[in-house]
Structure 1
């Protein structure tokens, strides 16, 4: 193990240079790390592997195929739309994190992972060999491929007539799975996470009027807005069934909440309530006044709502805007990473302190990831980014770079409040970001979350999987798409 870690460190040192305040790495480290990860995981019994990501290559290489077995329907066009984004080359960061974290958790001694009883369908030969208790029936009880309700009830049709896509057995686990340590339910968790994320992409591209995704026409352009929305809904429905079949109430609660978080985050982005008390929103160029509540259902103003910038000291408004921005970022991006990381730890049977650190790791990494994404929106070309760049200001979004500039230039509050809708607003904002070093300050913020995520990982035993997670975490800062 020590020799492996030395070789990993030797290979990594040319890629990563860390200091107390800044990490300097080649601009394509993230892309290299992810592509390497996708090749990934077949530990060779007779060779020491140089690539730390190779420990999950089987799972990653079969990810799209496994998801296809989960999302099939009886309608060919629906199948085409719902699988459209899985065909393209994506980063697959979220399932990669789940798989690597699951592998890292397996290095915790079994006797220290007894918070829940791992049911017999979760036990690979590794755990049988180590003497994990397993004969007792638990609340989990059955495989992730077994339905809970009768198939005739689920389909409203004779199940012999239509094959339930969610009842197809998993691919046979490779021979080395016994030493790989990733549980079947953790593998399914990784697939579910990618399904939820992809559904959100289909919906986001409709909402944001996007025309490209992953280097080709976005779903709404390739098919239509209606089909893209329905395909996203279908993916969430299929994901929800797969979530239920994990048969762990805590994990079901976590993953179901991520779906609600995505919607709430999108609403926070849709209406910039941090800057206005107005009930008027602008979307797709159309002004819409929200109907007054009748009082039959209690509603309350969002906690982050503040006064107009001219009414309050602008630093107070800037601070509130940052709180709003970070909470929105958590809901839209970090929630899925953090809750899925926590779910992987729960399924491993780990103790509460490990579970909490896994959650914080996912939260800090997710915030870092999106903050870097917001920075790239100012600096990357469409071709490099894989989707329209320089779009946030055009959509009226106040992200970290412009918020840092606003701290130095109070008049920018007026542009933010009107969501950069007046002629020349976008250009003024971009010049201000450059003048006041908004991008440099944004990078420092991302680095802070990166370092916090690395600290969270130290709760796990040293292993190749942890090294891979550390490398991936560092490389988030240097990605260019």
Structure 2
């Protein structure tokens, strides 16, 4: 679903240009690497992260003037996000993404890993060329956070003792870090005050956490079409998310299913049924709403009506994905 027409027509042209620029920016000498990267970009996506950056840029610059550096940051952010998806799909052994074969499925695992590395390297090069040390510091930390998140997720696979706090921490590293840091980076480029920059960071952090929680709910109740990947994948890979953790608190049977790693034929359908018959989905939704409210509070502390108005559309979109 494309959220742009419903948000702010002003940035629609910039997002169309972004699509074309992404293709140019991933050009590589090796045809396989280029084909692998282009394959994923051609599948499209919601482009939520670039949209947020452009909206922040629009609301924090003089005369509603989005700077070239903002546009390049939006492109860099999407490349970093895409690189993380390539690696995620390899680790999760995911066969499809956004309705098309994943890179490792279409080419090979080796090519997918190299394509992900290539995209990270490309994003780092373009990031350095922004010639803004504060932005470089903010965004480069995200790549470290991705690795941290993957390691933490791997270490807690099928770990029934994982706490909700650890789940939120892992969700920050895997999803919220990029949205938080790029939101702050957009405000840095606009030369806003450090206080305003930090409020945009908090906005992105809580929005990112809400986005991940909603994603995890959809993994249980969504269809492969709405998800862009197979449903129930988190359970299969031992990624214990909010709906599962809340369900386990109500029904101890869940712990025994986790302990045997859902290895029996009907374990995953059985677990999904337990989750749906408990209060876990509602509790997860409430948790997502808490973070949506926290993101709104962060934006409300900024004296900028345009930012509040335009970014509220993103908040509504994130939570309404469940409708």
TM-score (norm. length: structure 1) = 0.64
**In 1, are the aligned partners of 2:26 and 2:122 still within 8 Å (CA)?**
yes
Question: Does 1:438 find its partner at 2:259?
Answer: no
**Larger relative helix fraction:** 2
Instruction: Provide the C-alpha distance between the structure 2 equivalents of 1:438 and 1:36, rounded to a whole number of angstroms.
Output: 28
Instruction: Provide the C-alpha distance between the structure 2 equivalents of 1:419 and 1:455, rounded to a whole number of angstroms.
Output: 40
For residue 74 of structure 1, give the secondary structure of its aligned residue in structure 2: coil
For residue 231 of structure 2, give the secondary structure of its aligned residue in structure 1: coil
**In 1, are the aligned partners of 2:86 and 2:112 still within 8 Å (CA)?**
yes
Q: Which residue of 1 aligns with 2:11?
A: 56
TM-fit CA distance, 1:191: 0.5
Q: Which residue of 2 aligns with 1:249?
A: 133
Q: Are the structure 2 counterparts of residues 274 and 396 from structure 1 closer, same or farther at C-alpha, using a change threshold of 3 Å?
A: closer
RMSD: 2.0
**In 2, are the aligned partners of 1:254 and 1:340 still within 8 Å (CA)?**
yes
**In 1, are the aligned partners of 2:157 and 2:239 still within 8 Å (CA)?**
no
Q: 2:107 aligns with which of 208, 214, 223?
A: 223
Instruction: Provide the C-alpha distance between the structure 1 equivalents of 2:45 and 2:56, rounded to a whole number of angstroms.
Output: 20
Q: 2:124 aligns with which of 240, 249, 253?
A: 240
TM-fit CA distance, 1:380: 1.4
Instruction: Provide the C-alpha distance between the structure 2 equivalents of 1:408 and 1:210, rounded to a whole number of angstroms.
Output: 30
TM-fit CA distance, 1:327: 0.6
For residue 320 of structure 2, give the secondary structure of its aligned residue in structure 1: coil
Instruction: Provide the C-alpha distance between the structure 1 equivalents of 2:291 and 2:226, rounded to a whole number of angstroms.
Output: 24
Instruction: Provide the C-alpha distance between the structure 2 equivalents of 1:235 and 1:381, rounded to a whole number of angstroms.
Output: 29
Which runs of structure 2 are paired with 1:84-103 in the superposition (5 Å)?
A: 84-103=39-58
User: How many equivalent residue pairs?
Assistant: 323
Q: Which residue of 2 aligns with 1:182?
A: 66
Unpaired stretches in structure 2, ≥5 consecutive residues: none
**In 2, are the aligned partners of 1:185 and 1:347 still within 8 Å (CA)?**
yes
**In 1, are the aligned partners of 2:158 and 2:238 still within 8 Å (CA)?**
no
Answer 1 or 2: higher relative contact order, Cα 8 Å, separation at least 6: 1
Instruction: Provide the C-alpha distance between the structure 1 equivalents of 2:308 and 2:59, rounded to a whole number of angstroms.
Output: 6
Q: 2:311 aligns with which of 431, 451, 469?
A: 469
Instruction: Provide the C-alpha distance between the structure 1 equivalents of 2:148 and 2:192, rounded to a whole number of angstroms.
Output: 30
Instruction: Provide the C-alpha distance between the structure 1 equivalents of 2:225 and 2:265, rounded to a whole number of angstroms.
Output: 27
TM-score (norm. length: structure 2) = 0.93
Question: Does 1:353 find its partner at 2:237?
Answer: no
